[in-house]
């Protein structure tokens, strides 16, 4: 629902898969390995973006590239431990 109701409209056409807690907790590296397997790719081909350091640490431990997203109103996380972005236009 989040990506259907953005200020830019419905973005779901740009997303090929959604993963929730069905792959496991977001703080477990095995969850990100399961996502990679479901996408038929190596974890190293995935860029995981989050505003939560524990999730980024787990994704990194699984072999994913990670980016910390700074969002207004969110508490400061360990931003110096991760490359940071302010919006998706900064993902290359």
Residue range of the domain that includes 44: 12-90
Residue 1 forms part of a structural domain: no
* pLDDT tens digits along 53-87: 999 999 999 999 999 998 877 776 676 789 999 88
Phi, psi of 14 (to 5 degrees): -95, 0
CB 53 within 8 A of CB 61: no
**Domains contained in the chain, number:** 1
State the angle between helix axes of 29-38 and 53-62 in degrees (0 to 180), rounded to the nearest 10: 60
Q: What is the pLDDT of residue 60?
A: 97
* pLDDT tens digits along 10-57: 999 988 888 877 788 999 999 999 999 999 999 999 999 998 999 999
What is the mean pLDDT of the segment spanning 6-10? 91
pTM above 0.75, yes or no: yes
Residue 3 forms part of a structural domain: no
Phi, psi of 68 (to 5 degrees): -85, 125
């Amino acid at each position: 629902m989040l990506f259907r109701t953005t200020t830019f409209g419905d973005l779901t056409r740009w997303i090929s898969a959604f993963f929730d807690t069905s792959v496991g907790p977001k703080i477990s590296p095995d969850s990100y390995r399961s996502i990679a397997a479901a996408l038929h790719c190596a974890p190293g081909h995935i860029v995981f973006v989050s505003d939560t350091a524990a999730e980024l640490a787990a994704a990194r431990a699984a072999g994913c590239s990670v980016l910390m997203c700074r969002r207004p109103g969110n508490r400061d996380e360990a931003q110096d431990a991760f490359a940071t972005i302010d919006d998706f236009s900064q993902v290359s």
